[in-house]
Structure 1
Amino acid sequence: MNKKQLSKLRRLPATNSMVALAKMPGRKERRYTCGLNKYRYRYMARCQYLNGILKLSICKTKEIRKGETEPKWDVYLSPRDKTYITRERQKDGTYKWRTAKVDNLEWEWEEAGADENYYINPEGKAAIKAILETKNSGVDGIIEWQKKVRTEKIEREEKRKTDRWDAAMKDVPESYPAGFEKFWKTEAFSDHYIFYKGADAKIGYCTGCLQEVPLNKRPKHNEWNKCPKCGKQIIYESRSKKKNPIWSYGTATLLQRYREGIVKRIFSCTRIDTGANMGQPKLIIREVQRVLLTDDGVDTYCWENYRFKGQRWRKQDTSYYEERYANLYRRNLSALLKNTRTTYNIAIKHGYKGDPVFFMKMEKRNPLIEKVFKAELYRIGNDLINKSDYLYRELVDEEEPELIKALHIDKARLARLKRMNGGRHELLWLQDEKKNNTIYKDEDVQTLANALVDGADSRIFQYVSVAKAANYLRKQQAIRDRNLVDLARDWEDYLSMLEKRNADMSNGMLLRPKDLTLAHNELVIQNDMLNKGKEIEEKKKTFKNAEKLMKSGALKKYEYQNEKYCILSPTGIKDIYNEGMTLKHCIHTCDIYFQRIDIQETYLLFLRRTEKPDTPWYTLEVEPGGNIRQKKSVLNEAYSDLEDAMPFLKEWQQWVKKNLSKEDAVLADKSNKARKKNYGQLRKEKKLIWHGRLQGTMLVDALEKDFMEV
């Protein structure tokens, strides 16, 4: 409908009779309250059929009483086109167009109430019923017609959508490969059992190979072992002891040809083993998801109840593809991928264990992936696949068809990169070598790459050559048996501290100390001694609440001990500095811990041995309710000696829980919510740990693993 033409149609203001009716009080009693309704009708309406358009004008009774006779809404209906639209008058006299049905134009609670919602004269009611061919007359007839039009429109849209989905599903193969049935019955489930009838049984039934197997030894109920035939991990289950059905669940994945692409089919599998029918499990398979990979991209379909109208395949609206990879049937892969350009077969032979469709999707997005896998650069290929391609953006040209030009190296250096099975850092050093028209030893390149030293721009190479740096790092690794990454970072930190002291940076003995770790730690301690006094005073001013809380002795309520261990509380920020400097971790260098104490989100407590209460051992970050977020000792690590203290910590947690005050319970609840929010943010940002034995691990995973809940 043309809005300009609709606006020109005859005005239908409230008539004199409508105004008179609007002024009449209600005759019915108000619901839930005393007295009569304020209005006879809430809305006053009139209609006319103009140029094939049925126009309904609605005035608000409340506005008519104030002298406003212009309609609040003009509803235009086209019986021929089966369309409708509404023009709504705004407070400033302008108009806004709306697509809502009449019954959704306004929702307003009126305490005064009305006897009826709409007034429209008998002629208007009859005209609406005749023109729209409805069962109801008046405004009810219009609402009936609008609902019918809306329903038909939705059904047409749904049919167009479902027809497209059905057309896409039509080309998915109906049959499975010959070996798939045996595969899902034996490989889809993670839990397998050997069932036997009693302690003297000589044979049992293995769910991993679906056949009877000899029992070479006397089985023990609920004991873990391996099947003598298929070698799978199983649990012995005596059917004389456990007679109830055992349900097992699993997932199977099948790749098949789909048009010019591939379909990944995911099946939900169920196995029900009953005591009465040992060796005759009930096996159920149900296809739950199909992922279509074509030149047009990736589309995911799920088997679900679509709008409560029955089960069907429904295309998922999101453009995000979730990696879902479990128990892939591999026997048809060679034939399936034979005439495709994918290098997935190469990748899985060299360590790739991810989702095949995700792999092929990434291949289509980045043509360089295919080239590096074919060139046997498997580490670079896996990096590019595993969403680490952003690390290479400045190093490679993804659009360049020739590999050596894409990597900005030459054939000789490509051969060396392949020989080293190099990754990002090896590539960076070979590019640096070509740029500077020099040659580095492969051993030196690998040493510096393993140390994650990013090229000649590092501070280290301002003072020593590449060869000397690599040789020095190897010697230090032999002395201390430490990670090369940690050694390189300590060296850069050490050189930075020397620069700040205005040391003689030309002195080779100073630049390359005999024991780097010892020299670095000595400088750190010296700097601590020089700087901490002033810094502590500044921290006291910044975190006044934290200092006041600790000095007041409020944290002593968390102190606890037994014969072996004790938990002590700090008496001020200085105690936290002493703890951090002694254990060489970060509680005194990271303001976040002081901030949390300041707002009473968490506290820092000291775990000590009872016989040595003054000797720092472990630092605990705890919540007001007793949850332990972290347990760290020297160099921010936890060691095997903590295992013996774990029962004591659990005992302490129960003691805290028992003695928790109402105020602390409120703080504990706030802390719990803050932790969950923080963990969610860390997972969203995918922050990694860069030091120590957990290097490369997501920070949130390490924190969640370290967390001890009461």
Structure 2
Amino acid sequence: MQRKELRALKRIYATPTMRRIAQDNKLDKPIVYKYSWHKYTYSTKYDMMLRCQSRGSILMIAVFFPDDVAKGFKYPVYEIYCNPKGCEYITRERNPEDGKEIRWTNALVFNLERIDTIRFFDYEPDLKIRKRTIWQNNDGKKEIKQFLGTNMSGLEGLIEYQHRCKLYSIKKAEEKEQEPWDEELALTPPVLKGFERWSKHEAMNENFIFYESIHSPTGYCSYCEKEVPLIKPKRNGEGKCPCCHKKITFKLRSKIKGLRTRAISTSCIQRIEGGYVVRTFEVHSAYRNATYDKPDWSFIEYQRTFMYSDGRITTYEYETYKNKYLRFCKQESKLPYEYYNRKIKLYPRNLSLLKKSVLRNSAIDLWPILPYSPAKYLYVEKGNPAIEMLAKIKLFGLAKEIIKTGYDKNLLNQDETELAKMLKIDNARLKRLKNMTPTLVTLKWMQYEKLANTIWPDDMISEFGQNEIEVSELNFLPKPIKYMKVYNYIRRQQILSGETFKQTFITYRDYYCLAERNKWNIASTQISMPKNLEQAHMNAILFSRGTSIKNQTEKLEKEWPLCNKILPDLKKYECSNNEYSVVAPVCIEDMVREGIALNHCMDHADFYYDRIQQREAYPFFLRKTNQKDMPWYTLEVEASGNIRQKRTTGDNQNPDLEPAIPFLYEFMEHFKQVMNAEEIKQGIKADKKRKEEYKKLREEQKKVWHGKLAGQLLADVLEADFMQTI
């Protein structure tokens, strides 16, 4: 319907009869309706007045309101134009006083501003009573029903028609959206012969032998699909089929009701016009009512990814379309969603044929286990030729790491066509790399070796690479660094200490930095590389704390002058029962004594004192009630009352803390009960700051360098130690 043509149609105006009825619209006595806790009061007979006339193929419905008509306004507020042949409608809103056009809208009649509040759309009164509040002559009601082809008449007929139009327009929009999908999905060829059987047998992880009793001479093998000799079966025990030699589980036939295998995913790649499609299926079997020889197989396709030679990629998932029905729906992401912990097994039997055409430049057939889904692997491999080349020389570990890190121009040179040059090394080093189990760090050591124009032993490069110790991590040493000498020293100390190579390296780095901070003569080999690293490391720690408690306290008091003013206020949070007590320090000296006694960092780590001054977190001492003077555990309590850390000797947490956990929850409850309004605000601020700190630590991938938790992410350790009340 064209608005220009609709404006040219003959108008409908209010009649004298309508004006007379509108002027006499008041009820003698208002009607009151109660519905639930609502109360409705009506003092008029009619809420709305309708007139309708046909204009060729258009039905024109004029909507008036009694208040406007009573004032002598002849123009309708709304003009609704209905075209049954086109299954469409549109509404023009006008000013009832002068008839000027305000706007056009496609809103349903009960969503129009002045209509949605009338009592016709209230839950109460009864529908029959509500119908009487709409004035329209009987001929007009019948015309709406007849012209629009509805079951209802009058306003109800108009509502029915508009709903029909809405459903029709939605259907047309959905068909328009789905049309290109169906065209592309139609390119999918039939399922490969043998793929379904391969998925149900070769790809399945679970096979069974079903037996009648332990005295039966034979049992039914789910893989062989026949009776096989039975050898010492044990219900739910594992064994091997004497025929197919597959690993099986013994199942008693009378006890298999409800037996169902775990679902697995299998994929096949099929050629299509201009490219190929990767199809993924979910497969499982169910044995119900002892039907051991006729399982219910489920073989359902849930994903298709179309990949074209021009680089276009489209993915479809079998899912509910707009909560209506199941079908393949196009996804916003061009690559398929990677389901958590779901490995996809690729059908290998047609890959040799595909290698001659669409997969001629891929090494997908060489991988024993793909690092990603086949579609994602093919996409990543196409953008990074080094992956294909590494797979062809069986360096799958290095290829997998490159896939997961993405293309790095500092690591690879994509402009080269030879693998060695692409990896920024030479052929001799590539040959050495093949004889190792290389990682990305191994490759970086090789690249640095080439830049340094030297040759280092393969054992050294391999050890640093396997332990993810990059060249830059040795920069704490003075230049020029003698890497071979450092490697040999760490290997010797590893044997002496019994620690891992990585942990020994961390200990050495920590020792060297402490020795440098202590202003020791690290130019001397006796100092920089002590005979017993573990003992030297401990001596360095003790030396760094060698100043007297008084000197250390004075130093901290000078640096953090507000701490001694804040700490006495913590006394109100102290808590105790028959077994445990939480004691608050009253000065910095108490904290220094605690740190030295328990050999952790409270006596020298600046961040504890900074958090006190910022009123973000406070120290408390967990003691046994009968030994309040003996240091046991140190707590760091957030200003919100939650416990951030709890540490004892050597910054550890031992099993003896477990019985005290319920008491710590009592302490946190007590802490929150005695907080004032200002302290509550500080707690909210501290909680927000802690979350931001954890997020930053996780982004920076910072790790714990020594102790029992060495190698773990610092954010994980802190979050695991965090305690809060509900």
The residue aligned with 2:42 is 37
Counterpart residue type for residue 30 of structure 1: Y
The residue aligned with 2:25 is 24
Alignment of structure 1 residues 147-158 onto 2, 5 Å: 147-158=163-174
Q: 1:101 aligns with which of 105, 108, 118?
A: 108
Counterpart residue type for residue 22 of structure 2: L
User: 1:328 aligns to what SS in structure 2?
Assistant: strand
Aligned counterparts of 2:703 and 2:520: Cα–Cα separation in 1: 29
State whether residues 598 and 631 of structure 2, in contact with CA within 8 Å, keep that contact through their aligned partners in structure 1.
no
State whether residues 276 and 307 of structure 2, in contact with CA within 8 Å, keep that contact through their aligned partners in structure 1.
yes
State whether residues 698 and 715 of structure 2, in contact with CA within 8 Å, keep that contact through their aligned partners in structure 1.
no
State whether residues 195 and 268 of structure 2, in contact with CA within 8 Å, keep that contact through their aligned partners in structure 1.
no
The residue aligned with 1:364 is 382
The residue aligned with 1:480 is 497
Alpha-carbon spacing, 1:404–1:585, altered in 2? closer, same or farther (3 Å): farther
State whether residues 619 and 633 of structure 1, in contact with CA within 8 Å, keep that contact through their aligned partners in structure 2.
no
Point out where structure 2 has 5 or more consecutive residues left out of the alignment.
Answer: 675-682
How many angstroms does 1:102 deviate by?
2.1
The residue aligned with 1:552 is 574
Q: 1:513 aligns with which of 530, 544, 547?
A: 530
Alpha-carbon spacing, 1:293–1:703, altered in 2? closer, same or farther (3 Å): farther
How many angstroms does 1:367 deviate by?
4.0
Alpha-carbon spacing, 1:434–1:599, altered in 2? closer, same or farther (3 Å): closer
C-alpha root-mean-square deviation of aligned residues, in Å? 6.1
Matched, 1:344 2:364: yes
Matched, 1:470 2:471: no
How many angstroms does 1:297 deviate by?
1.5
Aligned counterparts of 1:88 and 1:497: Cα–Cα separation in 2: 82
State whether residues 569 and 605 of structure 1, in contact with CA within 8 Å, keep that contact through their aligned partners in structure 2.
yes
Aligned counterparts of 1:528 and 1:23: Cα–Cα separation in 2: 99
The residue aligned with 1:563 is none
Alpha-carbon spacing, 1:343–1:703, altered in 2? closer, same or farther (3 Å): farther
Matched, 1:225 2:229: no
Matched, 1:384 2:385: no
State whether residues 82 and 149 of structure 1, in contact with CA within 8 Å, keep that contact through their aligned partners in structure 2.
yes
Alpha-carbon spacing, 1:471–1:129, altered in 2? closer, same or farther (3 Å): same
Q: TM-score, normalised by structure 1?
A: 0.70
Aligned counterparts of 2:67 and 2:622: Cα–Cα separation in 1: 67
State whether residues 44 and 119 of structure 1, in contact with CA within 8 Å, keep that contact through their aligned partners in structure 2.
yes
Q: 1:284 aligns with which of 281, 294, 297?
A: 297
How many angstroms does 1:272 deviate by?
0.7
User: 2:362 aligns to what SS in structure 1?
Assistant: coil
Aligned counterparts of 1:604 and 1:234: Cα–Cα separation in 2: 58
Alignment of structure 1 residues 682-697 onto 2, 5 Å: 690-691=703-704
Q: TM-score, normalised by structure 2?
A: 0.68
Aligned counterparts of 1:413 and 1:314: Cα–Cα separation in 2: 49
The residue aligned with 2:284 is 269
Counterpart residue type for residue 349 of structure 2: N
Matched, 1:300 2:316: yes
User: 1:286 aligns to what SS in structure 2?
Assistant: strand
Aligned counterparts of 1:89 and 1:522: Cα–Cα separation in 2: 92
Matched, 1:459 2:475: yes
Aligned counterparts of 1:509 and 1:176: Cα–Cα separation in 2: 71
Alpha-carbon spacing, 1:619–1:186, altered in 2? closer, same or farther (3 Å): farther
Alpha-carbon spacing, 1:606–1:44, altered in 2? closer, same or farther (3 Å): farther
Alpha-carbon spacing, 1:540–1:586, altered in 2? closer, same or farther (3 Å): closer
Q: Which range is displaced more, 292-301 or 538-547?
A: 538-547
1:600-655 Cα shifts (integer Å, max 9, x gaps) = 999997999x99x9696999999x9x9x999988877889xx6xx8xx95x88899
Aligned counterparts of 2:372 and 2:173: Cα–Cα separation in 1: 37
Matched, 1:523 2:540: yes
Which entry has the higher C-alpha Rg, 1 or 2?
Answer: 2
Counterpart residue type for residue 322 of structure 1: Y
Q: 1:144 aligns with which of 160, 178, 186?
A: 160
How many angstroms does 1:299 deviate by?
0.9
User: 1:147 aligns to what SS in structure 2?
Assistant: helix
State whether residues 346 and 373 of structure 1, in contact with CA within 8 Å, keep that contact through their aligned partners in structure 2.
yes
Q: 1:571 aligns with which of 583, 593, 596?
A: 583
Aligned counterparts of 1:94 and 1:236: Cα–Cα separation in 2: 81
Aligned residues: 667
1:454-494 Cα shifts (integer Å, max 9, x gaps) = 43585324345143433433333333343444444444444
1:281-319 Cα shifts (integer Å, max 9, x gaps) = 4232231413224122141331x5556765544444555
State whether residues 39 and 115 of structure 1, in contact with CA within 8 Å, keep that contact through their aligned partners in structure 2.
no
The residue aligned with 1:422 is 438
Alignment of structure 1 residues 427-438 onto 2, 5 Å: 427-435=443-451
Counterpart residue type for residue 305 of structure 2: L
User: 1:226 aligns to what SS in structure 2?
Assistant: strand
The residue aligned with 1:323 is 338
How many angstroms does 1:30 deviate by?
2.4
Alpha-carbon spacing, 1:385–1:298, altered in 2? closer, same or farther (3 Å): farther
Q: Which range is displaced more, 254-263 or 163-172?
A: 163-172
How many angstroms does 1:508 deviate by?
3.9
Aligned counterparts of 1:684 and 1:167: Cα–Cα separation in 2: 49
Matched, 1:355 2:362: no
Counterpart residue type for residue 528 of structure 2: L
How many angstroms does 1:589 deviate by?
8.7
How many angstroms does 1:333 deviate by?
5.4
State whether residues 86 and 97 of structure 1, in contact with CA within 8 Å, keep that contact through their aligned partners in structure 2.
yes
1:664-705 Cα shifts (integer Å, max 9, x gaps) = 9999xx99xx99x989x9899789684578888788999999
Alignment of structure 1 residues 371-410 onto 2, 5 Å: 371-374=389-392, 376-386=394-404, 388-389=405-406, 392-398=408-414, 403-404=419-420, 406-410=422-426
State whether residues 266 and 281 of structure 2, in contact with CA within 8 Å, keep that contact through their aligned partners in structure 1.
yes
Aligned counterparts of 1:233 and 1:633: Cα–Cα separation in 2: 50
Aligned counterparts of 1:161 and 1:176: Cα–Cα separation in 2: 29
Alpha-carbon spacing, 1:225–1:291, altered in 2? closer, same or farther (3 Å): same
Alignment of structure 1 residues 152-191 onto 2, 5 Å: 152-178=168-194, 180-181=196-197, 184-185=200-201, 187-190=203-206
Q: Which range is displaced more, 475-484 or 26-35?
A: 26-35
State whether residues 598 and 648 of structure 2, in contact with CA within 8 Å, keep that contact through their aligned partners in structure 1.
no
State whether residues 57 and 73 of structure 1, in contact with CA within 8 Å, keep that contact through their aligned partners in structure 2.
yes
Alpha-carbon spacing, 1:605–1:102, altered in 2? closer, same or farther (3 Å): farther
User: 1:287 aligns to what SS in structure 2?
Assistant: strand
How many angstroms does 1:253 deviate by?
1.0
Matched, 1:332 2:349: yes
User: 1:154 aligns to what SS in structure 2?
Assistant: helix
Alpha-carbon spacing, 1:50–1:699, altered in 2? closer, same or farther (3 Å): farther
Point out where structure 1 has 5 or more consecutive residues left out of the alignment.
Answer: 560-567
Q: Which range is displaced more, 200-209 or 528-537?
A: 528-537
> Between the two proteins, what is the percent identity of the paired residues?
23
User: 1:323 aligns to what SS in structure 2?
Assistant: coil
1:496-530 Cα shifts (integer Å, max 9, x gaps) = 44454555554444333334444344434554676
Aligned counterparts of 1:577 and 1:94: Cα–Cα separation in 2: 85
Counterpart residue type for residue 359 of structure 1: Y
Alpha-carbon spacing, 1:372–1:539, altered in 2? closer, same or farther (3 Å): farther
How many angstroms does 1:332 deviate by?
1.2
Alignment of structure 1 residues 205-244 onto 2, 5 Å: 205-207=220-222, 210-217=225-232, 219-222=233-236, 224-227=237-240, 229=242, 235-238=249-252, 242=255, 244=257
User: 1:428 aligns to what SS in structure 2?
Assistant: helix
Alignment of structure 1 residues 637-652 onto 2, 5 Å: none
User: 2:200 aligns to what SS in structure 1?
Assistant: helix
How many angstroms does 1:169 deviate by?
3.9
